[in-house]
Structure 1
Amino acid sequence: MEQKPVKVAMIGVGAISGIYLKNMTHTFREVDLVGVCDLIPERAEKGAAYVREEIEKGAQVRDPKIYKDMFEAFNDPEVEVVLNLTRPYEHFEVTKQALLHGKHVYSEKPLGVDMEEANQLISLAEEKGLQIGGAPDTFMGAGIQTARHLIDSGMIGNVVGASCAMVCHGHETWHPDPEFYYKRGGGPMLDMGPYYITALVQLLGEVKGVMGMTKKTFPQRLITSEPHRGETIQVDVDTWLSGNLEFTSGAIAQVFTTFDVHYTAQSRFEVYGTQGSLMVPDPNTFGGPVLLLRPEDAAAAPKTDPGLARHGVPDFYAGWKEMPLLYDYPENSRGLGLADMCKALRTGRDHRANYQQQRHVLEVMTSFSKSCESRAYLPMETKYTRTAPMELNPMHGILD
């Protein structure tokens, strides 16, 4: 029997909302967008106008309501799930109020800006019998799911460790409203770290403990993007965070995120095993490439010091083989986690981007600065079990 789509209200219609609106309108058939709301009414009107334009072109969705405020959405008896796309430091209050009004919540990352917020929200959800889920959902895409399959099937042997980095010079040169990236709830670890840490726990499992070193390099940032060009941002958060993760499996990973340096290749993500190495695609994307290097690939290489043999600009992935993507959703599929949660609400199964994962990832991310401050190894208090791998469904936009 065909299941009815889950009715969703979008709170926050800022920069990230565009791809959600596109995918909710054209891809995910188990999500029904009831209405939108934003503190700036023009943003909500622009979001609703986009959907209306797509309806005129043939999209089979409803014309969304425009709520005057979030409480009108929370009190709408039609709404089952609140999609929280507000700024990071607003996530807690919006999610809390939605839960108090009896709504399930799916939010952009992070779940909260610290563990106190996360634990309060989870306790409230459990008390009321409601579900919380949230981004990132990029780990559900074709790239990382393929990497997970290759690791789980033993293609690189037993995992020894991993190394990943997110390196850039911040968002003030291109983002229309970059200030919140340097305020509470921002910074490279809470902004971009969720993609990397979520991918790591999906690939390697539970994190046992963390050691970190962090700093704030620039106390101020000059905005060069419009419409705030020439304005100065006071930086309140660490913008250089690096550290080591010890996994319950015994693997060790190095993680590095920064908004402080000039660099062209923003993402680097590699997993190393006893029988090979794997290049994982940028975890802020859903697709590939996924590259594999095994001992037989290097068997014909000259037996010499690779440092002495190398001339010119090195090709770090020379000899690596690109692997075919084995799963669906290689394109920008933001909202996939929301659709999965909606399917879970109808079927009773668990959903993949659940709060158990969000909380564990948040504890890892917030432990880097704490470890630096205390000059100590911090064992994790939260537990983690990997969520189910994706399953192939012959109908794109319909979840298992």
Structure 2
Amino acid sequence: MRKVGIGIVGLGNISAAYLKAAAGFPVLDIRAVADLNPAAAQARAAEFDVKAVSMDALFVDPEIEIILNLTIPKAHVDVGMRAIEAGKHVYSEKPLGIVFAEGKKLIDAARGRNLRVGSAPDTFLGGAHQTARRIVDEGELGQAIGGTAYFMCPGHERWHPNPAFYYEAGGGPMLDMGPYYITDLVNLLGPVARVSGIATMLRNTRTITSRDRNGEIIPVHVPTHVSGTLVFANGAVVQISMSFDVAGHKHVPLEIYGTEATLIVPDPNNFGGQVELLKKGGEWANVETDQPYADGNYRSIGLADMAHAIAEGRPHRANGDLALHVLEVMEAFETSSRSGQVVEITTPVTRPAPLATSIVDGKLGR
């Protein structure tokens, strides 16, 4: 198995999860890390026994094939474009970008240079979600009718040490949490055809209650409660709500309805969880997860799949076309809210191939 050199840009909170998980995928060779804050890079490098270098050095390192872009959302496209210009493939934390037009420029630039773009979330490759995918693919639901998707909480200022960016351009519940839900829905149901939505911002400020900045007031610049409808190309209609304004709720994360059965899919921000199935005329039953990667946090599996795909000359699953489609869908909610119109989705996308086997040992199901 040929190892693929990885350089990481951005050493914030999420980088620890990526570095920890990457150790379980032998194809990934973490060559160096870099951050605009050298102290952050040095600290994370020491924690995981990797090399910290300058940003310039990382982008010109010939042993690095993929830039793993873990910067804040508004920097995703700029860093991605720099990687492409340096002749590197790039895999980005979600979302692909904060504006669809800019995300499309990144995808077009990569395609023009025969380079790959990958993007989180890769949680849809987790065992629970791949088990749900198998149920759908085997026709147990019958014809897809619709579903629901809910993420609602009081806001990340409760726990995050630096939550301001969640309320700046590129933040908000749809761009922050929507990628997990919409990506998993595309994995299960295929591409989205149309979107209608309402987006509201009922408070102009938030008060941080996390420990280090407790009591600090931050401004809000983005909608914090977004609801609407996704109409899929196969005719299924899914109701969705993403909110940073709600104290709590009892909806399950994802329900998928078919003519023959209803499927409950667990939290798409996790790799595992309990899948449930109700067949018409029957009772709710737990479905045993029969796929790998359901028992931990495997952030890096999408990157590992991309590295294998480069070596094998096949498509990777958490790919740029999927991420761009999801970005267009998310942006459409605010566009629909402003215009009062249904928004047609223009980006084509193919459901990613199911992940049938483990890739820890370098073997990957097709």
Category of TM-score, reference length = shorter chain: over 0.9
1:206 aligns with 2:180: no
Superposed counterparts of 1:1-400, under 5 Å: 3-25=1-23, 27-52=24-49, 64-68=50-54, 70-263=55-248, 268-297=253-282, 319-330=283-294, 331-393=296-358, 395=360, 398-400=363-365
SS of the aligned residue for 2:257 comes to strand
Offset at residue 135 of structure 1 (A): 0.1
> Is this contact kept in 2: 1:28–1:398, CA < 8 A?
no
Question: Residue 220 of structure 2 aligns to which amino acid in structure 1?
Answer: V
Q: Deviations over 1:365-393 (max 9, x none)?
A: 00000001000011111111101000214
> Is this contact kept in 1: 2:142–2:260, CA < 8 A?
yes
Offset at residue 24 of structure 1 (A): 1.5
Larger displacement relative to structure 2 (36-45 or 177-186): 36-45
Offset at residue 264 of structure 1 (A): 5.8
SS of the aligned residue for 1:349 comes to coil
Task: Report the Cα distance in structure 2 between the residues aligned to 1:393 and 1:88, rounded to whole angstroms.
Answer: 30
Question: Residue 322 of structure 1 aligns to which amino acid in structure 2?
Answer: N
Question: Residue 97 of structure 2 aligns to which amino acid in structure 1?
Answer: G
> Is this contact kept in 2: 1:29–1:398, CA < 8 A?
no
SS of the aligned residue for 2:13 comes to coil
Question: Residue 20 of structure 1 aligns to which amino acid in structure 2?
Answer: Y
> Is this contact kept in 2: 1:168–1:266, CA < 8 A?
no
Task: Report the Cα distance in structure 1 between the residues aligned to 2:10 and 2:363, rounded to whole angstroms.
Answer: 25
> Is this contact kept in 1: 2:25–2:359, CA < 8 A?
no
Question: Residue 369 of structure 1 aligns to which amino acid in structure 2?
Answer: E
Gaps of 5+ in 1: 53-63, 298-318
Larger displacement relative to structure 2 (143-152 or 225-234): 225-234
Task: Report the Cα distance in structure 2 between the residues aligned to 1:14 and 1:44, rounded to whole angstroms.
Answer: 9
Offset at residue 4 of structure 1 (A): 1.6
SS of the aligned residue for 2:166 comes to helix
- For 1:301, the equivalent position in structure 2 comes to none
> Is this contact kept in 1: 2:317–2:352, CA < 8 A?
yes
Q: Deviations over 1:110-155 (max 9, x none)?
A: 1111111111101110111110001000000101111011011111
- 1:266–1:174 Cα change, 3 Å: farther
Question: Residue 360 of structure 1 aligns to which amino acid in structure 2?
Answer: H
Task: Report the Cα distance in structure 1 between the residues aligned to 2:70 and 2:5, rounded to whole angstroms.
Answer: 16
Offset at residue 167 of structure 1 (A): 0.7
Offset at residue 102 of structure 1 (A): 0.6
If the length of structure 1 is used for normalisation, what is the TM-score? 0.89
Larger displacement relative to structure 2 (258-267 or 326-335): 258-267
> Across the two proteins, how many residue pairs are aligned to each other?
364
RMSD between superposed Cα atoms in Å:
1.4
Task: Report the Cα distance in structure 1 between the residues aligned to 2:190 and 2:335, rounded to whole angstroms.
Answer: 22
Task: Report the Cα distance in structure 2 between the residues aligned to 1:398 and 1:172, rounded to whole angstroms.
Answer: 41
Task: Report the Cα distance in structure 2 between the residues aligned to 1:170 and 1:157, rounded to whole angstroms.
Answer: 37
> Is this contact kept in 2: 1:167–1:266, CA < 8 A?
no
SS of the aligned residue for 1:381 comes to coil
Question: Residue 12 of structure 2 aligns to which amino acid in structure 1?
Answer: G
- For 1:316, the equivalent position in structure 2 comes to none
Offset at residue 295 of structure 1 (A): 2.1
- 1:265–1:33 Cα change, 3 Å: farther
Q: Deviations over 1:263-284 (max 9, x none)?
A: 1658521000101100001000
> Is this contact kept in 2: 1:339–1:399, CA < 8 A?
no
Question: Residue 242 of structure 1 aligns to which amino acid in structure 2?
Answer: S
Task: Report the Cα distance in structure 2 between the residues aligned to 1:67 and 1:226, rounded to whole angstroms.
Answer: 31
Question: Residue 213 of structure 2 aligns to which amino acid in structure 1?
Answer: H
Task: Report the Cα distance in structure 2 between the residues aligned to 1:296 and 1:51, rounded to whole angstroms.
Answer: 53
Structure of larger gyration radius:
1
- 1:211–1:90 Cα change, 3 Å: same
If the length of structure 2 is used for normalisation, what is the TM-score? 0.97
Task: Report the Cα distance in structure 1 between the residues aligned to 2:278 and 2:3, rounded to whole angstroms.
Answer: 43
Q: Work out the percentage of aligned pairs sharing the same amino acid.
A: 45
Question: Residue 208 of structure 1 aligns to which amino acid in structure 2?
Answer: A
